[in-house]
Amino acid sequence: EVQLQQSGPEVGRPGSSVKISCKASGYTFTDYVMNWVKQSPGQGLEWIGWIDPEYGSTDYAEKFKKKATLTADTSSNTAYIQLSSLTSEDTATYFCARDTMGITLDYWGQGVMVTVSS
Amino acid sequence: DIMMTQSPLSVAVTPGESASISCRSSKSLLHSNGITYLSWYLQRPEKSPQLLIYQISNLASGVSDRFSGSGSGTDFTLKISKVETEDVGIYYCVQFLEVPFTFGSGTKLEIK
Mind listing the pLDDT tens digit for each residue in B66-83? 999 999 999 999 999 999
Q: Is there a contact between B92 and B72 (Cβ–Cβ < 8 Å)?
A: no
- Nearest chain B residue to A96, by CA: B48
Nearest to B54 among A61, A104, A111 (CB): A104
pLDDT tens digit string along B52-65?
A: 999 999 999 999 99
Q: What is the rounded CA–CA span in Å between residue B71 and residue B14? A: 25
CB proximity B59 to A under 8 Å? no
* A85 min Cα distance to partner chain B (Å): 22
CB proximity B48 to A under 8 Å? yes
Q: What is the rounded CA–CA span in Å between residue A93 and residue B112? A: 29
* A116 min Cα distance to partner chain B (Å): 20
Nearest to A110 among B35, B37, B48 (CB): B48
Q: What is the rounded CA–CA span in Å between residue B60 and residue A96? A: 18
Burial of B40 (0-12, 13-18, 19+ CB in 10 A): buried
Q: Which of A48, A104, A106 to mutate to test the interface with B (most CBs of B within 10 A)?
A: A104
pLDDT above 90 as % of chain A: 94
pLDDT value of residue A101: 81
**Is the C-alpha dihedral spanning B23, B68, A44, A79 positive or negative?**
negative
Average pLDDT, chain A: 97
User: In whole angstroms, how large is the CA radius of gyration of chain B?
Assistant: 13
* A118 min Cα distance to partner chain B (Å): 26
pLDDT tens digit string along A50-76?
A: 999 999 999 999 999 999 999 999 999
- Asked if B100 lies within 8 A of A61 by C-beta distance, the reply is yes
